[in-house]
């Protein structure tokens, strides 16, 4: 059986930046060596045929299923860990690697302008949703 790296060398991959890929890589790097971190798979690469839907080629994590009765606690612990992550210095409010904020509160689920700070987002929200 070939390794993921060998398979990837045979796939033509696009050269454009993908914010979801960069976010996943950032979280993976933060989780490395952190005993309190949830298991985060490494993304070997991604591709997006015709820029319609992105596909990730990720590390396989062989893990036992969490019993249903323990699932809420496990999810809560993982979310607490994620909330504790620092924001990279080169990121503004929006997508990692570039792009404006996306959320269902915005028309077409995308902000109409970039936000340089939480205060700028707050001013916008106060003006748009008084």
Structural Rg of the chain based on CA atoms? 18
Q: Is the pLDDT of residue 9 over 50?
A: no
Contact of 93 with 113, CB cutoff 8 Å: no
The pLDDT of residue 97 is 65
The pLDDT of residue 3 is 60
Question: How would residue 4 be classed by pLDDT, with cut points 50, 70 and 90?
Answer: low
pTM for the whole thing? 0.65
Distance CA 121, CA 17 (A): 25
Question: What residues pair up with 47 in beta bridges, in sequence order?
Answer: 55
Number of alpha carbons in the 13 Å side-chain half-sphere of residue 42: 6
Distance CA 109, CA 51 (A): 18
The pLDDT of residue 14 is 44
Tokens for 18, please give them.
Answer: 């993908």
pLDDT digits (tens, 9 = 90+) for 56-106: 889 998 888 888 898 899 999 999 999 999 877 777 777 766 677 877 888
The pLDDT of residue 80 is 95
Helix or strand or coil: residue 47?
strand
pLDDT digits (tens, 9 = 90+) for 18-51: 777 888 889 999 999 899 999 999 988 888 777 7
């Amino acid at each position: 059986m070939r390794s993921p790296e060998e398979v990837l060398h045979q796939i033509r991959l696009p050269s454009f930046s993908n914010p979801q890929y960069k976010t996943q890589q950032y979280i993976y790097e933060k989780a490395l060596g952190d005993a309190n971190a949830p298991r985060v798979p490494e993304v070997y690469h991604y591709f997006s045929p015709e820029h319609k839907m992105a596909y990730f080629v990720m590390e396989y994590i062989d893990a036992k299923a969490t019993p249903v009765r323990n699932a809420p606690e496990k999810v809560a612990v993982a979310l607490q860990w994620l909330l504790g992550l620092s924001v990279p210095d080169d990121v503004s409010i929006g997508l990692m690697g570039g792009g404006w904020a996306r959320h269902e509160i915005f028309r077409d689920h995308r902000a109409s302008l970039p936000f340089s700070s939480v205060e700028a987002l707050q001013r916008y929200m106060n003006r748009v949703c008084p």
